[in-house]
Structure 1
Amino acid sequence: MTTIQLSNLFIASLSDPKKLTAALQLKKGKAFLYFIFILLISAIPAGIETFSTLSNINQAGQEIVKELPPFTITNGTFTSKETVKNFTKETTSLTFVFDPKGTDSNAEDQLSNRLIGVGFLKDGLHFLTPFQENTYEYQDLEGMDNQSVENFLGVIKQLGFYSSIFVILFMTIILTLMNNLLYTVFANLITALTRRRLPFGQVWNMTLVASTLPTLFFVVTTIFGIQINYQTQLTLIVTVYIYYLALRTLPKAEV
């Protein structure tokens, strides 16, 4: 029953705004489900971008492992039986610098070019994130070899995956709540100006459903790489207008 009612509201939000008054009867549980639906839709562009970034990091990690010469860290010294050549790999979010002999004076500066920086430099292993910078001297990395680097890059990939999901969900929840609160405030103003009386919760439910069409529109345009400015303002205008079309079908309050 819940699925049918919510699906009907979804269809009405796209084709017949006057039927959105059915949202006035939504119980808290159903309203929450629709909020989750809007939340998941809103998170799609960020999710696609994040997984694309993680895919690039994974590909770069494979290339890094192939280019690394066989090495070990013994007695605090980086040693290799092959000629050590420094190299740099960059993706949209990761910079990897390999210069254990210290031949490149700008190697450390390059680590800050992207969101995450990993570097085997002359004084040790450097690991940079937006939140902190850590340097591990080679004497603290006794026994590290190529396999250790491959495992380390795998850990970075996993951390990036889980932290990205958390950040996307957290930010999308906050933005969706704030945006719908904004829509509800303006919708309440329209309600008062048109001499209707509705509780705040019912106005919240109607604006939540009314925001479906503009939310879907901007998600689709973003996915296809079409950047439109003032999305929040445009979504507000369209949402409140759709809300108004539904509101007109309700009787005015008696004076």
Structure 2
Amino acid sequence: MSIFKQFIKSLYSPNDIAKYRYQKIGKTILYVFFLMFISVIPFVYHFGVLTLEIVNEGREVVEEELPPFYIRNGELTSDLQEPLTIRKEKITFIFDSTGTMTKEAAERKTNVIALLKNELVVTSTGANTQSFSYTTIGEMSNETIVSFFDSAKGAIWIIIPIIFIVFYTLVSGIGFLKITIFSYLALLLAKLFSKQLVYRHAWRITAYCMTLSTVFFMIMEFMQIVFPFHLYLDWFIITIMMYLSIREIPSPKVKR
């Protein structure tokens, strides 16, 4: 059976998942890489769109809408007496050289680039936040940032694939670790239901039990819907699929 057919059946058929426990480990590993690839698609898409918006709109905002400013000795300085908010179609720019807005306040927003008193804060879809201290950036002004955007426009199609490879590698590593840990839970469930299951078979079953949860959260991330208890819901879905799949394993026959 092809990986794509296994992918479809793993969404709804615990009986088929239970049968996959006997397949070769190489095919299961390949399936995990395929599953992790699917899981990072929303991030890469939103990251790419956001990066393009930052480059295209950021240059215009810095050059035409922000007041003259400079960053020196780790601080943002300008003549503004209150924070300035500039809303674009997909990104909101916040400029605050007064120190009024805190990093925590900026992190609660989505798709925001905030030039704060002492750091740059970037938030994207899914409550992903990155902050950069000005001490690591060095001295900058309107003119140097505009020049940076001009240089970044040519390199953006090189940067995005590199980010994808790094992120995909990280997510894949976490995915394999997650399967390894949940496999012990599968062994526990098998013991509770008096099913014969060794660790290598539990690992294979666990890999396919992650399919429904992965697809569900991939769709939610595409739609930019954030769940407050994302981690616990993920664990719950995987555990339910493991429970249903292990129940499909035939019980050992008892000799009289």
For normalisation by structure 1, the TM-score amounts to: 0.64
CA RMSD of aligned residues (A): 4.0
SS of 1:14 mapped into structure 2: coil
Change (3 A) 1:130 1:93: farther
Q: Is the 8 A contact 2:180 2:203 kept in 1?
A: yes
What is the match of residue 113 of structure 1?
A: 120
- Distance in 2 separating the partners of 1:196 and 1:179: 23
> Which sits farther off after the overlay, 164-173 or 189-198?
164-173
Residue type of the alignment partner of 1:210: C
Residue type of the alignment partner of 1:114: V
Change (3 A) 1:66 1:254: same
What is the match of residue 203 of structure 1?
A: 202
Unaligned stretches of 5+ in structure 1? 69-85, 98-103, 117-127, 139-143
- Distance in 2 separating the partners of 1:244 and 1:202: 14
Structure with greater Cα Rg: 1
Length, aligned pairs only? 213
Change (3 A) 1:110 1:132: closer
What is the match of residue 246 of structure 1?
A: 245
Q: Is the 8 A contact 1:90 1:96 kept in 2?
A: no
SS of 1:15 mapped into structure 2: coil
What is the match of residue 135 of structure 1?
A: 138
Q: Deviations over 1:86-136 (max 9, x none)?
A: 999899698899xxxxxx898x955723349xxxxxxxxxxx945962436
Residue type of the alignment partner of 1:236: W
What is the match of residue 5 of structure 1?
A: 2
- Distance in 2 separating the partners of 1:151 and 1:110: 25
Change (3 A) 1:9 1:49: same
Task: Show the 5 A alignment for 1:5-154.
Answer: 5-63=2-60, 67=64, 110=117, 112-115=119-122, 129=132, 133-135=136-138, 149=148, 151-154=150-153
- Distance in 1 separating the partners of 2:15 and 2:6: 11
Change (3 A) 1:37 1:248: same
1:227 aligns with 2:226: yes
Q: Deviations over 1:6-27 (max 9, x none)?
A: 2332222123211212211221
**What displacement does 1:50 show?**
1.1
Q: Is the 8 A contact 2:118 2:134 kept in 1?
A: no
Q: Deviations over 1:8-56 (max 9, x none)?
A: 3222212321121221122122112110121012212322231122112
SS of 1:113 mapped into structure 2: strand
- Distance in 1 separating the partners of 2:158 and 2:119: 19
- Distance in 2 separating the partners of 1:47 and 1:234: 23
Unaligned stretches of 5+ in structure 2? 66-79, 100-114, 124-130
For normalisation by structure 2, the TM-score amounts to: 0.64
Q: Is the 8 A contact 1:53 1:93 kept in 2?
A: no
What is the match of residue 72 of structure 1?
A: none
Q: Percent identity of the aligned residues?
A: 20
Change (3 A) 1:146 1:213: closer
Task: Show the 5 A alignment for 1:180-195.
Answer: 180-195=179-194
